[in-house]
Structure 1
Amino acid sequence: MDGPGFTASLVAGGVAGVSVDLILFPLDTIKTRLQSPQGFKKAGGFRGIYAGVPSAAIGSFPNAAAFFITYEYVKWFLHTDSSYLMPLKHMLAASAGEVVACLIRVPSEVVKQRAQVSASSKTSQIFSNILYQEGVQGLYRGYKSTVLREIPFSLVQFPLWEFLKALWSWRQDRVLDSWQSAVCGAFAGGLAAAVTTPLDVAKTRIMLAKPGSSTASGNVLSALHGVWRTQGLPGLFAGVLPRMAAISLGGFIFLGAYDRSRSLLLEFGRERP
């Protein structure tokens, strides 16, 4: 991938990530509290819905930038003109992007989610407590479950996004506008969010579990079984509506902003002497 393309992916991905995380933070808080072991009301209800926003703000730019740099690089590396192999290329690129991005996303997510269910605690205090009680590995609790959630999500979202863009572009016989790319992103994100909600519930339970508990060990199947045993199917899909709403809106803003920012940056790079 060339220099301008690398820079454009870096900046556009970061801008898109910050935009989404800050605009849709209240929906994310509500979703986390619906999924928390203590229940929605005890986790804070509708109070303090911006608790944990500093952690999201700090982590969102590098997280999104890391994803899109990897995504675009792997797409470039696996360049193929075969339409049959195109979905596989997008799946591999998205999966690689998630594995890299989660190295940044997971510590931010752990701190953010604990702040969301204890709104009275400061983000810096929660961060210090995690390091004191569990060390650096505490910040990466739930890494495996996050990757196991994000890869299936990306396997649905990104190939579907790319397919819908290509189909729409073919139907109108021209390149899509940014808002059209955003609509494709909203649809793809909403569908991916719905089918991966149980994995998101497992990830939330693991991140919020008390240190030393069986759930805190990070076993996704064990966490899913525990939710199924106590709450059944509704428990596995707790928070599905705010998750779908947040990710559909997020897909609209995130992928639309990414496409627009990247095209503007590439155009600016071509115009420079």
Structure 2
Amino acid sequence: MQRARSHLFSKSFGWKQFLSLMEQQEPTILRAYTSLCLSKSGTLQKSEILTSLKNAGLPANEDNAVAMMRFLDTDKEGSISYGHFRNFMLLLPSDRLHDDPRNVWFEAATVVAVAPPVEIPAGSVLRSALAGGLSCALSTSLMHPIDTIKTRVQASTLSFPEIIAKLPEIGVRGVYKGSIPAIIGQFSSHGLRTGIFEASKLVLINVAPTLPDIQVQSVASFCSTVLGTAVRIPCEVLKQRLQAGLFDNVGGAIIGTWQHDGLKGFFRGTGATLCREVPFYVAGMCLYEESKKLARHLLGRELEPWETIFVGALSGGLAAVTTTPFDVMKTRMMTAPPGRPISMSMVAFSILRREGPLGLFKGAVPRFFWIAPLGAMNFAGYELARKALNKSEAIVP
């Protein structure tokens, strides 16, 4: 269009301008066409294309010849005329018209374009990590007492009402046991998780742009959750042993765990934790994103912050209930007496034999009320915090 329009500021061109362009380029295109190995009828068939490729030192095989014919939409006609070739050459930049037409045509028909390297904006990923870490650390500090109640229910044979009745005995200090490793672990792991989540989404969107949103969300959630959870497990072990009353303080929990179990003791329950965390975050993030889309569609507008928080709370609570069995097994493994070998299958069979299938859902009620606010803060709070950080970055002079 730039070559055909009448002046620099023209946004269109007419038939006269097009004919003028044709007259300028016609001799060059005709010379390029006649330089090919034409048949007696002046056309190009598969055999002539193979000969031209061979003479130019290019890979002369049937697949390449068919691809070159298909590229000019002539695979049904079986031959290429000058008109087909001219239409192709007219679309090339002017400087390519003087190149060997065999190379130009071969490259256009057979060389696959390689996408440029994906550039991940470090600032955006760091802001996402900071927003995720802060939102989760805040929610963990506020909801830690409910987490302690949930842990005590799962670690013992007592029921939820019986644990509630013992709260005066446990006291305020007791329900906040393990809060320091919990906050540190959640800040570091969720900061890492949200940073990897955003980076993974950017990579997937650039590498596979045709993937549906829900698949992008699922794959990014899976990658980020596995890596983020691995960082948090030692803090989770210390937190739950303090909550269950096995140790009195963080220092005692670290020394006691090391003396009885060594380094592997800090990673007890890794399998159960991953079995809980991966489905939770994959299901939670997908449920959160799809619920937001549905709510926006039904309301016909963007969601208010409080509506976003409500969707996050509901998504987190529902995902928490479905993953409770893995949470119960993780808690039993992490709070088992130090030094005793234990596995996820041993814990599962023990619960089923002694407490029945419902034993795998112990603590589901406090877990729902613990995770629902966490979901509001981790999913919705993270998104709102990230928007706030992006906005503050944008207004900085």
TM-score with structure 1 length normalisation?
0.91
**2:244 matched residue in structure 1:** 117
Give the drift of 1:29: 0.4
- The answer (yes or no) to whether the contact 1:32–1:204 under 8 Å persists in 2 is yes
How far apart are residue 256 of structure 1 and its match? 2.4
Secondary structure of the residue that 1:118 maps to in structure 2?
coil
Provide Cα deviations, 1:54-74, integer angstroms capped at 9, x if missing partner: 111222211110110111111
Superposed CA deviations along residues 164-183 of structure 1, whole A, max 9, x for unmatched, are: 11222233444333322211
Conserved 8 A contact 1:55-1:108: yes
* Residue 245 (1) aligns with residue 369 (2): yes
**Mapped pair 1:260 → 2:384:** yes
Please tell me whether residue 54 in structure 1 is matched to residue 180 in structure 2.
yes
Mapped to 2, the partners of 1:78 and 1:174 lie a distance apart of 28
Contact 1:185 1:255 in 2 (8 A): yes
Q: d(CA) in 2 for partners of 1:22 and 1:7?
A: 22
Q: Please tell me the residue identity of whatever aligns with 2:396.
A: R
The alignment of Structure 1 onto Structure 2 pairs a total of residues equal to 269
Partner Cα separation in structure 1 for residue 184 and residue 251 of structure 2? 12
After TM superposition, list the pairs within 5 Å mapping 1:99-178 onto structure 2.
99-118=226-245, 121-178=248-305
Distance 1:52 1:131 in 2: 17
Contact 2:332 2:347 in 1 (8 A): yes
Select which of 202, 206, 212 maps to 1:76.
Answer: 202
Structure 2 distance, partners of 1:67, 1:223, is: 28
In structure 1, what residue type is equivalent to 2:142? Answer: I
Preserved contact between residue 30 and residue 45 of structure 1 (Cα < 8 Å): no
Structure 1, unpaired ranges of 5+: none
Partner of 2:221: 94
Q: Give the equivalent residue in structure 2 for 1:231.
A: 355
* CA distance in 2 between partners of 1:115 and 1:212 (Å): 17
Paired residues of 2:197 and 2:220 also in contact (CA < 8 A): yes
Max Rg structure: 2
Contact 2:257 2:338 in 1 (8 A): no
Residue by residue over 1:31-52, the C-alpha shift from the partner in whole angstroms, topping out at 9 and shown as x without a partner, is 000000454669x942111111
Give identity over the alignment, percent.
30
- Judged with a 3 Å threshold, the aligned counterparts in structure 2 of structure 1 residues 138 and 15 are, in CA distance, closer, same or farther, namely same
SS of structure 2 residue aligned to 1:78: helix
Structure with the bigger percentage of helix: 1
Q: CA RMSD in A?
A: 2.1
For 1:269 and 1:137, locate their aligned partners in 2 and report how far apart those are by CA, in whole Å: 42
- Equivalent residue for 1:10? 129
Deviates more, 1:33-42 or 1:244-253: 33-42
Amino acid at match of 1:50: Y
Q: CA deviation at 1:272?
A: 2.4
> How many angstroms apart in 2 are the aligned matches of 1:251 and 1:230?
32
Task: Give the unaligned 5+ runs of structure 2.
Answer: 1-119
What SS does the aligned partner of 2:303 have? coil
Name the structure 1 match of 2:310. Answer: 183
Structure 1 CA distance for aligned equivalents of residues 188 and 224 of structure 2: 12
Instruction: State the one-letter code of the partner of 1:233.
Output: P
AA at the equivalent of 1:138: G
Indicate the residue corresponding to 2:150 in structure 1.
31
Secondary structure (helix, strand or coil) at the match of 2:362 reads coil
Distance 1:49 1:211 in 2: 22
TM-score (norm 2): 0.64
Q: Which amino acid is 2:204 matched to?
A: L
Amino acid in structure 2 at the alignment position of 1:271: I
